[in-house]
Structure 1
């Protein structure tokens, strides 16, 4: 046996593990390179999974995308593609161009992204058109008004509150409680809130009642307080601008305006609608004021002491609602600046604004101030009647289907025809008119009587007419106590304004209004106004058309039958079903809607 050890041959270690590590590192590097290339390619392609840079996962919660200019002036647009982005001049600082902000409103937050400025000099007309379409669509151009509207719309939805405002004359008591805001308190709050500017459309400016020698019952208290607030605001540096009626229909109407102008407390422009209409009449009849372009009041109240203590008035207060306040402000600025000779009068339009569950739109008259009839209060009024599905309730100081301030008094059929045509399709109408002392009352009574004769429940034509009278003694005639409110409502729309329902107010005179669209029978504004109307309608201060005509001598009074047995075959003549008078002063009459008898007190004036 040999003692030598076996020979061991040395071999090289295997290379498998080393190569595997190298391959893995190379693969990782290659993958990173591919990812970087893909990312760059994706960023250079148009975005299809998102809109305006908003990730598709966020679109479900996105409510509104707004393109806004940081200066509020000229709007430019930016494209979502890199080809359009390449035309942006990043070093451009020309103040004529503005950078764009995209505001994305989600359920939980508001985020903003600022885009570079678009230089008009670096873009062709076709490129500019393409970038506009990429943001707002093929047929829409983002004008200054559109952008401002969209911004305000978002802000309105967060801050805006709307209140029904009412004046109930002193000494008047309604049995049915209805929550409304007191007009004096509303005005004091809004005027006292001003931080920079108050703009006023006023038919009258006489808050202190300087025409009165004695104010024995302090009827001017509220008006004097409001004047003091305005005076203090003006002295503190708040700019107050006024557009009022020129010439005034009564010298007393402008006592306070003259005083404030003399003291340098206001900037004032008088609007002579007769001259503007080429000698065809008309007055400045708008009753609206705007505070800081954020707060707005629209209604029937004049800047007069009577509007806060003597008259039934109605209005809407918009608190922290810049969207609709700025609509009224645009109209005011156009008229004021044109009267001051600063610029040519241009027509305006007013969009609809969604505030909560309701849609609001500011309206005006006459139509020649407007770009579109859709902003005209007459068109909104007619549409309310024609598009009603159930009922229309009307409360207005005057109703005239004719020109009443012109010699020939031509017939004006638009509102009257709307009522008659809607009545024929089953819409129920109730019309409440002010029973104040006016020489035109007989003519108005004739028109209303011609409507009332159409009432026929058997043929499903239901229309009732009443007058409301605010009591006052002969010694108090100077207080002019009456219903001065002007509003109309259906089951889904409400219109509150400054115009009586006669053609002069819509065609020759200025007026302002607001129309509210809500869910049928569920709108909050509509519900409140419905309650206000019901309270007026069923109160002790109303008379039906027949009794009002008798009390005024427009129709002969119904006399008591001389023979109590002469009417067995005509029950209405013996007082069984239609008692014409009683010792207690109450009147029994047949209800127009039902066969049940109702009790309706006679009002003696």
Structure 2
């Protein structure tokens, strides 16, 4: 870990000398590192995965040697404790206990969360704080004006990380469909991710955000014009291969280009790419295929009164399909809490040549009662023939302009094929329905 910290200091030195020039020491780095896709598959679905979110998180937390940084919207890992074990509540208990155990063996654990509310209380983080774990809450509305800290982020020993759709919630491990990226032993990229965490951590003590300049301590190490060049292995640590996948990765080290993007603009430090900019670049650079999985999609705001029109992404998708003949496929979630304003926009997109839209519907659990706010595809990713985008945000204006979120943007053919095969698996599964059904 001393070597890792020294490496990060060297990277920061070069970047601070000239942030537009990435140090040569970062090229071909992370030789022993791995990159994996972790998924949560709701219990009862006939879908398999190489690596579960639960197993990925347990591996990260239990193998921590020095530090664990957790950035999440809220914590309800113990929320399934009183339910019949068939619901999978034990998965959340495992993660909670692993955090406690890590703290007990001297690991420095830090948690930053959104300001607690009646809907999202801080009962569990209060318990962790009483054990001596450091917990901070961001009063997001006071700092940004509206929105929440919607990030889902784990950083271990400043060298491994998870970024994805899964909340620190037992149901995100057992009853909700999720997808994220796990980086292991890659201090190059994780150093840059740590900068984003440190913004959250320090912002919890701010009374106002910096105006246009976070200062040199928060400068991005990489962005969409200066990506990290990483030598990584995506063999899923020899986990069982998904028989439904067409391509699981070669099992050998390959070169990856990668960068982290953030939202909202108020958290874009110097040289940091905005999340909406990363997403738009991916759409606009596609020549053949765009495949999207996201829970909520609408070219509007979702949480304003009244909501307003915001066609930025919608226009880009239509232009890709109409002007460049890009084949666009969109897999959007339909569940008990789908906003009534969403279907009209999807029906409209489905009328455009080269665009196909389907619903993904997770059936009710086999046991009653049904648990509120579960049984949904909560994943948020896009894959083109050129790259992979895996984020924490739904696709409406609110998430990109006032809500705290992150995305990992990955350029590697095998990884893109792996994510594409996951999309194809879901697209062709029995859980999709024609857009006309709702």
TM band (smaller chain):
0.7 to 0.9
Which is greater in Rg? 1
Residue in structure 1 matched with residue 181 of structure 2 by the alignment: 316
Of the three residues 24, 37, 45, the one matched with 1:172 is: 45
SS in structure 2 of the partner of residue 181 of structure 1: coil
1:281-330 CA-partner distances (Å, limit 9, x unpaired): 11000001111110011100111101111111111110001011111111
Normalization by structure 2: what TM-score? Answer: 0.84
Counterparts of 2:8 and 2:167 in 1: how far apart (Å)? 38
Is 1:259 aligned with 2:127? yes
Of the three residues 135, 139, 142, the one matched with 1:268 is: 135
Q: Is the Cα–Cα contact under 8 Å of residues 374 and 380 in structure 1 kept in the other structure?
A: no
SS in structure 2 of the partner of residue 470 of structure 1: coil
SS in structure 2 of the partner of residue 311 of structure 1: coil
Residue in structure 2 matched with residue 222 of structure 1 by the alignment: 91
Of the three residues 197, 200, 210, the one matched with 2:67 is: 197
Q: 1:436 Cα deviation (Å)?
A: 1.1
Of the three residues 420, 431, 436, the one matched with 1:530 is: 420
Q: 1:213 Cα deviation (Å)?
A: 3.8
SS in structure 2 of the partner of residue 492 of structure 1: coil
Residue in structure 2 matched with residue 422 of structure 1 by the alignment: 320
Counterparts of 1:374 and 1:216 in 2: how far apart (Å)? 44
Of the three residues 102, 114, 120, the one matched with 1:245 is: 114
1:550-576 CA-partner distances (Å, limit 9, x unpaired): xxxxxxxxxxxxxxxxxxxxxxxxxxx
Q: 1:153 Cα deviation (Å)?
A: 4.1
Q: How does 1:21-420 map to 2 (within 5 A)?
A: 72=10, 142-143=17-18, 150-156=24-30, 158-174=31-47, 180-209=50-79, 213-248=82-117, 250-252=119-121, 254-264=122-132, 266-277=133-144, 280-340=145-205, 346=214, 348-351=219-222, 352-355=227-230, 356-371=254-269, 375-420=273-318
Counterparts of 2:17 and 2:73 in 1: how far apart (Å)? 36
Counterparts of 2:257 and 2:331 in 1: how far apart (Å)? 26
Q: Is the Cα–Cα contact under 8 Å of residues 263 and 403 in structure 2 kept in the other structure?
A: yes
Counterparts of 2:265 and 2:165 in 1: how far apart (Å)? 20
Q: 1:374 Cα deviation (Å)?
A: 5.5
Residue in structure 2 matched with residue 502 of structure 1 by the alignment: 396
Q: Is the Cα–Cα contact under 8 Å of residues 294 and 332 in structure 2 kept in the other structure?
A: yes
Q: Pairwise CA RMSD of aligned residues?
A: 2.6
SS in structure 1 of the partner of residue 394 of structure 2: coil
Q: Is the Cα–Cα contact under 8 Å of residues 72 and 144 in structure 1 kept in the other structure?
A: no
Of the three residues 367, 373, 383, the one matched with 1:489 is: 383
Of the three residues 468, 472, 486, the one matched with 2:364 is: 472
Counterparts of 1:74 and 1:286 in 2: how far apart (Å)? 24
CA change 1:267–1:342 in 2 (3 A) is farther
Q: 1:144 Cα deviation (Å)?
A: 8.4
1:513-562 CA-partner distances (Å, limit 9, x unpaired): 101123xxxx1111111111111111111101112x2xxxxxxxxxxxxx
CA change 1:235–1:143 in 2 (3 A) is farther
280-289 vs 364-373, greater mean Cα deviation: 364-373
CA change 1:421–1:249 in 2 (3 A) is farther
1:62-94 CA-partner distances (Å, limit 9, x unpaired): xxxxxx999749969xxxxxxxxxxxxxxxxxx
Residue in structure 2 matched with residue 598 of structure 1 by the alignment: none
Q: 1:337 Cα deviation (Å)?
A: 2.6
Q: Is the Cα–Cα contact under 8 Å of residues 360 and 432 in structure 2 kept in the other structure?
A: yes
Q: Which runs of 4+ in 1 moved over 6 A?
A: 68-71, 144-147
CA change 1:437–1:150 in 2 (3 A) is farther
Counterparts of 1:361 and 1:369 in 2: how far apart (Å)? 16
Counterparts of 1:302 and 1:74 in 2: how far apart (Å)? 30
Residue in structure 2 matched with residue 514 of structure 1 by the alignment: 408
Q: Is the Cα–Cα contact under 8 Å of residues 165 and 180 in structure 1 kept in the other structure?
A: yes
Q: 1:194 Cα deviation (Å)?
A: 1.1
Counterparts of 1:310 and 1:503 in 2: how far apart (Å)? 27
Q: Is the Cα–Cα contact under 8 Å of residues 219 and 271 in structure 2 kept in the other structure?
A: no
SS in structure 2 of the partner of residue 530 of structure 1: helix
Residue in structure 2 matched with residue 438 of structure 1 by the alignment: 337
Unpaired runs of 5+ residues, structure 2, are: 1-5, 231-253
SS in structure 1 of the partner of residue 127 of structure 2: helix
SS in structure 2 of the partner of residue 170 of structure 1: coil
Q: 1:398 Cα deviation (Å)?
A: 0.4
CA change 1:225–1:370 in 2 (3 A) is same
Q: 1:341 Cα deviation (Å)?
A: 5.8
Q: Is the Cα–Cα contact under 8 Å of residues 224 and 305 in structure 1 kept in the other structure?
A: yes
Q: Is the Cα–Cα contact under 8 Å of residues 160 and 318 in structure 1 kept in the other structure?
A: yes
CA change 1:433–1:338 in 2 (3 A) is closer
CA change 1:350–1:483 in 2 (3 A) is farther
Q: Is the Cα–Cα contact under 8 Å of residues 294 and 325 in structure 1 kept in the other structure?
A: yes
CA change 1:386–1:195 in 2 (3 A) is same
Number of corresponding residues: 397
Q: Is the Cα–Cα contact under 8 Å of residues 293 and 382 in structure 2 kept in the other structure?
A: yes
Instruction: Tell me: higher relative CO, structure 1 or 2? Use CA pairs within 8 A at least 6 residues apart.
Output: 2
